[in-house]
Chain A
């Protein structure tokens, strides 16, 4: 089945900016009515790609100082920061993309 969607329901998470060097850091915003369970979304995604992590309220620390994901809720917006380090640049980019897909499309399951 092929459907054309101008406003895909996953498109309520946007990447605001990205900085890359030895580490990659990205900031995203999500516009939503009810905050989803970000900890579950991101931790399960990291588990899926075999990246050990330690969830805490409001953030997830990747083990072995490989970075973190944090989120701050305000009104109808969530600001999400992803920092990844200690991987190759290509792998950091793939991990960030996998997390962004999870943020966008896990929301569909919960709404």
Chain B
């Protein structure tokens, strides 16, 4: 299965701890990830390796659901999880202090399903869509945490 990677960074005017705490509560992701409609069955409640939850994306009636698992939680530097069913992917948030601010980087590694490539005509289009989504997620986090 071919793989792809989307990555985007931004400087956020907030302390690394604040950014980490906002990102690492799984249920909060619906407020900054476009199309993510629902997170449920988060177990246990606090972010830690092995924590799992169910997710559901909704794009105009096409619903993609699956399970995720936290694979790394190193407050306030790194938070990582994997989608373990549905379309497999690894999401890594890295937070580096920059004076009074912080640099947030989101990196998403994903498998490129053949049916999705067929659906969106070509692999470059699919990859650009994911890159745009990573940019939008980081932008939304900046908006939620700064203003």
Instruction: Tell me, yes or no, whether A binds B.
Output: yes
Residues of A within 8 A of B (CB): 1-6, 8, 10, 48-50, 87-88, 90-91, 94-95, 97-98, 101-102, 104-105, 108-109
Residue from B30, B64, B85, B143 within 8 A of A90 (CB atoms) = B143
Q: Which residues on B sit within 8 Å (CB–CB) of A91?
A: 143-144, 147
**Whole-angstrom distance between the alpha carbons of A15 and B147 in the complex?**
25
Tell me, yes or no, whether B37 is within 8 Å of chain A by CB.
yes
**Whole-angstrom distance between the alpha carbons of A91 and B147 in the complex?**
7
Q: Which residues on A sit within 8 Å (CB–CB) of B58?
A: 8, 10
CB pair B62 A2 closer than 8 Å = yes
Chain B residues with a Cβ closer than 8 Å to the other chain, count: 24
CB pair A90 B147 closer than 8 Å = yes
- Contacts A48-B28, A94-B32; A2 near B63 (Cβ below 8 A): yes
Residue from A3, A94, A105 within 8 A of B140 (CB atoms) = A94
Q: Which residues on B sit within 8 Å (CB–CB) of A48?
A: 25, 27-28, 31
Q: Which residues on B sit within 8 Å (CB–CB) of A98?
A: 30-31
B40 to chain A, nearest CB (A): 7
**Whole-angstrom distance between the alpha carbons of A82 and B147 in the complex?**
19
CB pair A1 B85 closer than 8 Å = yes
